[in-house]
């Protein structure tokens, strides 16, 4: 029998030569490769076995991967950032903010970052991944931190929400409105989530969870949403299976329920227009759809415009969900009416409803009437759509509109352009003025009744008009507001003496001259109170009780237009090209875009002074 062969082992020489190999299992011949993670034995071949392993396909692939890549940590700065690093971080952050402000894609930064490196700053690095992380993990959390502090200091807030679909995703932005004594009314996005449906239970669970997550349960004073059955249970608000009723039950207190007044006014003229002998909405839509994609028809209409010496302008569309589209659409048709009438009456193949309309001698009369009425409604909707309008100011707008309609009916008002057409048609024996007047009076009555039935919940806010500072308030007015707020649980009636003292000090500042000055400047209500509270702070005058009263009134929104604006931003941000966008990123984009009120240059200046944000941008923690 031959002598047994001596076993090879991993000698110190081999260990120095092949530093990526390690002994395992306590054996000096069983090795683990640190590159390809394979184990092998060298007891029979020693160094030869190692070389054979190195030549294997798996090891070569691992070797290639290691040589062509670096660990992510190699890109992180191991030392504290220098002043130059912070300057570059400010530029990177400003461009990330600019990307959000202008609704650009993060993908565009791949090209932009390289171009900036080549043209200006070689150390500038802000491609799509970094840009996205700066927005989602630096700016959005910072904006939420600011909002959290504002909510902590606030006494009263309002909750606003609505739903909108993006494909098969139902999005629910949740906004809060509050009054900051030093800055005015603040409307911020608190949360954006997708929900599986739009039932009252789903919505209420979402709202209550967000409220509790932010510890603001005791501060909610009002709920604002669209005038749907799901939100308020119909016009009478007597149902129990709606968000408003359930939210009051969950929070254990009475809330102010604010429907969207802009929708109500728009729906009022829609309802009243149905009383007219001509379906104006249908005619507008039909005329628009007849021309909007047909070049030949448009060119023919241009010829008719030239013949009757009218400047051609494109027909405007109309949608029931677009509050301000009725008046411009009717106005455009009136300007082109002679050309449109000649065109449709001269054509054989046109919709019968349009041929019938333009054959009607009263067609222009009713267009002029609805245009004159739409102008009145249009202006009130514009006023109500204001971002910072108060609920009590909306009440005044609605009250003015109702009074306007009532006076028109009482005085049998007919617009001059309509009266001129009535005289012509009556002279030709085509109409009777009394018949036209009956229809017009019915229009006024219907719109007034609609407004009354849908806006009665604003009436309890009438006592708050003194807070608008359109005139010098008196104590009896403030006392009524304090009593109202006390019944809602936001003011301690035992503090009425302190409130009286602080109100008397307020009157030292709010003189008739100051009111006249503010009225001349058309200074918003919230900024009037900001002037007062800033002055009190400078003079170290206590005004905490007065602030509670003002906060409550000014936190009440007049409409849900703020939420509708969020949907407009979502449409611009989440385009069909941005298929990789998800709800969490969308939330960060919206919070960054809407919760910060800075221009790009102002935000750049803010970044340069904010070392906390700059270090966050430089840090690896944002990934």
DSSP-assigned beta bridge partners for residue 39: 32
Alpha carbon separation from 137 to 143, 303, 437, 592, 617 (Å, rounded):
11, 59, 64, 11, 9
| Average pLDDT of span 597-616 | 92
| Token code pair at residue 327 | 């008046």
In this prediction, residue 177 carries a pLDDT of 97
Residues 6+ apart with CB under 8 A from 183: 530
The answer to whether 565 and 164 are in contact (CB under 8 A) is no
The average confidence (pLDDT) of the chain is 89
For the segment 121-137, the average pLDDT, to the nearest whole number, is 81
Rounded to an integer, what is the distance from CA 479 to the centroid of its chain? 36
CB 409 within 8 A of CB 441: yes
Burial 477-506 (b: 16+ CB within 10 A, else e): bbeebbebbbeeebbeeeebeebbebbebb
> According to the model, what pLDDT value does residue 354 have?
93
Confidence of residue 537 (pLDDT cuts 50, 70, 90): very high
Q: Does domain 141-256+575-622 have CATH number 1.10.3470?
A: no
Residue 481 · residue 467 · CB < 8 Å: yes
Q: 86: pLDDT confidence band, cut at 50, 70 and 90?
A: confident
Q: How far apart are CA 51 and CA 46, in angstroms?
A: 9
Residue position matching structure tokens 């504290």: 80
DSSP per residue over 107-156, as a string? Answer: THHHHHHHHHHHHT-TT----HHHHHHHIIIIIHHHHHHHHHHHHHH-S-
Using an 8 Å Cβ cutoff, are 225 and 559 in contact? Answer: no
Residue 300 has pLDDT above 60, yes or no: yes
At residue 450 the predicted structure's pLDDT band, cuts being 50, 70 and 90, is: very high
Question: Residue 181 has which token pair?
Answer: 């004594």
State the pLDDT at residue 196.
92
Bigger pLDDT: 84 or 358? 358
Cα–Cα distance between 249 and 121 in angstroms, integer?
Answer: 59
Distance of CA 453 to the CA centre of its chain: 29
Residues 507-516 pLDDT 10s: 999 999 999 9
Give the span between the Cα atoms of 263 and 450, in whole angstroms. 12
Q: Are 151 and 219 in contact (CB under 8 A)?
A: yes
Q: Looking at the predicted structure, is the pLDDT value of residue 4 above 60?
A: no
pLDDT over 50 (residue 1): no
For the cut 50, the answer to whether the pLDDT of residue 356 exceeds it is yes
Kind and range of the H or E run holding 63: helix 57-68
Which single residue is written with the structure tokens 């005329």? Answer: 287
Give yes or no for residue 76 having a pLDDT over 60.
no
Burial class (CB in 10 A: 0-12, 13-18, 19+), 451: buried
> Could you tell me which residues are beta bridge partners of residue 159?
176, 223
pLDDT for the residue numbered 343? 93
Whether the CB-CB separation of 179 and 555 falls below 8 Å is answered with yes
Cα distance between residue 494 and residue 286, in whole Å: 64
Q: For 277, which DSSP code?
A: S
pLDDT confidence of residue 102: 87
Q: Which of 23-32, 61-70, 209-218, 408-417 has the lowest mean pLDDT?
A: 61-70
Nearest one of 585, 612, 527, 601 to 145, comparing CA atoms: 612
Helix (H, G, I), strand (E, B) or coil at 184: strand
Contacts of 572 (CB under 8 A, 6+ apart): 103
C-alpha gyration radius of the chain: 35
The whole-angstrom separation of Cα 130 and Cα 112 is 13
HEC-encoded secondary structure of 445-469: HHHHHHHHHHCHHHHHHHHHHHHHC
Question: pLDDT value at position 23?
Answer: 85
Number of Cβ atoms within 10 Å of the Cβ of 437 = 14
Cα(155)–Cα(547) distance, integer angstroms: 9
Cα–Cα distance for residue pair 407/417, rounded to 1 Å:
19
Domain boundaries, the chain: 12-68, 141-256+575-622, 264-456, 465-554
From the list 154, 272, 269, 260, the residue with the least C-alpha distance to 214 is 154
Please measure the distance between the N-terminal and C-terminal CA atoms of the chain and give it in whole angstroms: 67
Average pLDDT over residues 458-487: 95
With contact defined as beta carbons under 8 Å apart, do 88 and 121 qualify? yes
Res. 456: pLDDT tops 60: yes
- For residue 619, give the nearest of 78, 10, 23 by alpha carbon: 78
| pLDDT, tens only, 611-621 | 999 888 888 76
Give me the pLDDT at residue 106, please. 76
**Is the CB of residue 401 less than 8 Å from the CB of residue 377?**
yes
pLDDT class for 530, splitting at 50, 70, 90? very high
Handedness of CA 474, 475, 480, 482 (dihedral sign): positive
Residue 554 · residue 179 · CB < 8 Å: yes
pLDDT for 117 equals: 66
Cα torsion 193, 199, 200, 201: sign: negative
Note whether 443 and 373 are within 8 A (CB): yes
For residue 406 the two structure tokens come to: 């009532």
Percent above pLDDT 70 for the chain: 94
**Residues 519, 499: Cα–Cα separation, whole Å:** 26
What's the pLDDT at 166? 85
For range 562-587, the mean pLDDT: 87
- The single residue listed with the structure tokens 């670096």 is 70
């Amino acid at each position: 029998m031959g002598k047994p062969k001596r076993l090879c082992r991993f000698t110190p020489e081999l260990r120095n030569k092949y530093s990526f190999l390690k002994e395992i299992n306590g054996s000096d011949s069983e090795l683990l490769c640190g590159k390809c993670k394979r184990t092998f034995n060298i007891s029979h071949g020693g160094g030869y076995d190692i070389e054979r392993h190195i030549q294997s396909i798996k090891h070569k692939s691992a070797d290639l991967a290691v040589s062509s890549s670096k660990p992510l940590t190699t890109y992180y700065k191991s030392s504290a950032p220098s002043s130059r690093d912070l300057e570059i971080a400010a530029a990177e952050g400003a461009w990330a903010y600019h990307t959000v402000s202008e609704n650009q894609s993060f993908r565009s930064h791949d090209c932009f970052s390289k171009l900036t490196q080549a043209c200006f700053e070689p150390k500038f690095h802000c491609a799509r991944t970094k840009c996205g992380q700066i927005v989602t993990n630096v700016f959005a959390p910072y904006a939420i931190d600011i909002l959290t502090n504002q909510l902590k200091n606030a006494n009263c807030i309002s909750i606003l929400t609505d739903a909108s679909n993006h494909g098969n995703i139902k999005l629910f932005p949740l906004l809060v409105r509050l009054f900051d004594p030093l800055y005015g009314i603040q409307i911020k996005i608190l949360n954006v989530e997708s929900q599986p449906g739009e039932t009252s239970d789903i919505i209420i669970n979402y709202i209550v969870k967000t409220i509790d997550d932010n510890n603001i349960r005791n501060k909610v004073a009002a709920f604002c949403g669209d005038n749907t059955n799901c939100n308020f249970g119909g016009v009478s608000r007597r149902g129990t299976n709606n968000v408003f009723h359930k939210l009051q039950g969950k929070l254990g207190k009475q809330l102010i329920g604010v429907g969207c007044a802009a929708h109500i006014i728009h729906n009022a003229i829609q309802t009243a227009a149905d009383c007219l002998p001509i379906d104006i909405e249908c005619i507008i839509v039909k005329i628009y759809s007849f021309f909007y994609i047909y070049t030949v028809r448009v060119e023919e209409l241009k010829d008719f415009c030239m013949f009757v010496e009218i400047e051609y302008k494109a027909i405007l569309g109309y949608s029931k969900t677009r509050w301000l589209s009725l008046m411009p659409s009717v106005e455009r048709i009136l300007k082109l009416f002679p050309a449109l009438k000649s065109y449709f009456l001269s054509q054989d193949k046109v919709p019968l409803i349009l041929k019938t309309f333009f054959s009607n001698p009263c067609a222009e009369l009713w267009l002029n009437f609805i245009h004159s009425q739409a102008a009145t409604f249009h202006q009130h909707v514009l006023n109500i759509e204001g971002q910072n309008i108060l609920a009590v100011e909306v009440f005044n707008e609605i009250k003015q509109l109702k009074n306007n309609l009532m006076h028109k009916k009482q005085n049998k008002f007919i617009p001059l352009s309509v009266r001129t057409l009535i005289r012509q048609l009556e002279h030709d024996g085509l109409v009777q003025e009394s018949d036209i007047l009956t229809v017009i009076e019915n229009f006024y009555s219907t719109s007034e009744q609609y407004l009354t039935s849908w806006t009665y919940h604003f009436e309890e806010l009438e006592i708050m008009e003194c807070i608008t500072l359109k005139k010098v308030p008196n104590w009896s007015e403030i006392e009524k507001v304090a009593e109202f707020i006390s019944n809602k649980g936001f003011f301690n009636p035992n503090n009425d003496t302190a409130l009286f003292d602080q109100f008397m000090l307020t009157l030292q500042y709010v003189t008739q001259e100051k009111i006249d000055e503010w009225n001349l400047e058309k200074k918003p209500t919230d900024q009037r109170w900001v002037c007062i509270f800033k002055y009190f702070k400078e003079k170290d005058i206590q005004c905490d009780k007065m602030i509670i009263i003002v906060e409550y009134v000014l936190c009440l929104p007049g409409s849900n237009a703020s939420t509708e604006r969020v949907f407009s931003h979502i449409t611009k941000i989440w385009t069909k090209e941005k298929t990789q966008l998800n709800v969490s990123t969308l939330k960060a984009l919206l919070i960054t875009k809407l919760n910060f009120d800075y221009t790009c240059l102002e935000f750049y200046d803010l970044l340069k002074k904010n070392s906390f944000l700059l270090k966050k941008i430089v840090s690896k923690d944002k990934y």
